[in-house]
Structure formats: C-alpha cells, structure tokens
Structure 1
Amino acid sequence: MAVSKDQKRAAKAAWSERKADWAICIVRIGAATWVKAVSDAAALERRLSFTLRTGGANGAPAGMQAAFREEGTVTVEVVERLDDDLSDMARETLVKDRIAHWADELGATPF
C-alpha cells in the first residue's frame, strides 16, 4: 500500500511538532560509562549504535570507539528525566549540575 502525499505531510508535521523529552542518560560499553543530556534517548541509542558499528564515531568521546570494538554492544539508560516546563536557560544550568552528579555517582565520563 502506497503512502499518499497528505499522509507524508501529516507524518512530517507530527514529527516536527513533537515535544522534546529531555533526560540524563548513561551510555555503557563494557566497563566504561559515559553520561550525557539528550532530548531523545532512543535517538541517542540508535545514533551511537549506528556510528560505532560503522566506525564513523566522529564527535564520540575518546575511548568509546575502542571500547565498542572490544565489546560490541551499547546500552543507553535514562537515569533522570528533566521537567518539561524548564526554560532553556534553567535546563542548561540544571543539566550541568546533574551531569556532574551522575558522573561522580557512577564514575562516568561526561560527553
């Protein structure tokens, strides 16, 4: 069954109007752990899995590609969800504090 132009437009509009779901996530590859704030945790997992699998991990923290070559699996876990009502400035301030907290708590490297 073919998708009509109207259906494509509606899907594109729905995707572009979706609300960001900000969260603090940890990325585990073997014994190594990294922590990051993201607006879409599922997208982070897909993106990292793809780029590490294909060897194109530009922008990934030092050691992530090597750890992936050794282990072969990436696990992304949401450790904290951020309030949807925060302004960009408030979220930025909170993210810095929460990343520092989780990095210290888990011995993770921020990225």
Structure 2
Amino acid sequence: MLTEDRKAAVATYKERKVVAGIYLVRCGATGACWAGQAPDLSTIQNRVWFTLRHGSHRQRSLQAAWNAHGEGAFSFEEIERLDEKALEAGRERVMKARLAHWCAELGAEGV
C-alpha cells in the first residue's frame, strides 16, 4: 500500500461516525444470551469474537459456552443504538442503565 493511500485510509477511518450502544451475544445451542455495552458498535463483534477464539474472554460463562458449542452456535445482535443526544446526560450512567434494562428484559447476563 502506498503511503498516500494509507494516509487516506487512516483519515477516512478517523472521520467515520461512531455509534455507541448495547449488543447481545446469543448461543443458539442453549438459548443463553449475554448483553454488553460498547462505545463503538461497529467494532465490538470483532473484539468479542477475537477474545473468545483465543480463550481469553473475561465472562467465564460465555467463554465456557463458546468452548463447548463452537463459533457456529453463536450470533451477534445490536440491540440498541444510542445517539449523542441520549448520551449527553452522562455517557457511563446512560449506557449502564440501558444495559441493565436489556439484561432484565431478555434475561441476559452482563458482559
């Protein structure tokens, strides 16, 4: 990749709109689900799958289910996108409240 192309690609990446929100990982084999919050929904699945593939995910029950059933048994869903206006009242507080809501609503464990 040429230097100019690389610089253009980096600039485009930095200018993209980042959307925070709540996501769900579901095991089709057991029906169990885990919910988490992410400052950037577009990149979180890659990070979660990477840690699971390497056996280093911090949520032990999720890692155990992954090890038992394999990657094919899992799906990833964006549950809720939070716009900047919703996060003005305090990003951490709002995201924590929405995560608690979805965990209760879906019977999911928090990630």
Q: Distance in 2 between matches of 1:33 and 1:96?
A: 17
Moved over 6 A (4+): none
Please give the TM-score of this superposition, normalised by the length of structure 1: 0.81
Considering only aligned residues, what root-mean-square deviation do their CA atoms show, in Å? 1.9
The structure whose residues are more often helix, as a share, is: 2
The residue that corresponds to 1:66 in the other structure is: 64
Q: Distance in 1 between matches of 2:88 and 2:69?
A: 36
The alpha-carbon deviation at position 105 of structure 1 amounts to 0.6
Q: Distance in 2 between matches of 1:78 and 1:19?
A: 16
Q: Given the superposition, is the C-alpha separation of residues 86 and 106 from structure 1 closer, same or farther in structure 2, using an over 3 Å criterion? A: closer
Match status 1:23 vs 2:18: no
Please give the TM-score of this superposition, normalised by the length of structure 2: 0.81
Q: C-alpha offsets along residues 67-105 of structure 1, whole Å, 9 cap, x if unaligned?
A: 001121332111111012345652222112111110101
| Conserved 8 A contact 1:35-1:109 | yes
The residue that corresponds to 1:76 in the other structure is: 76
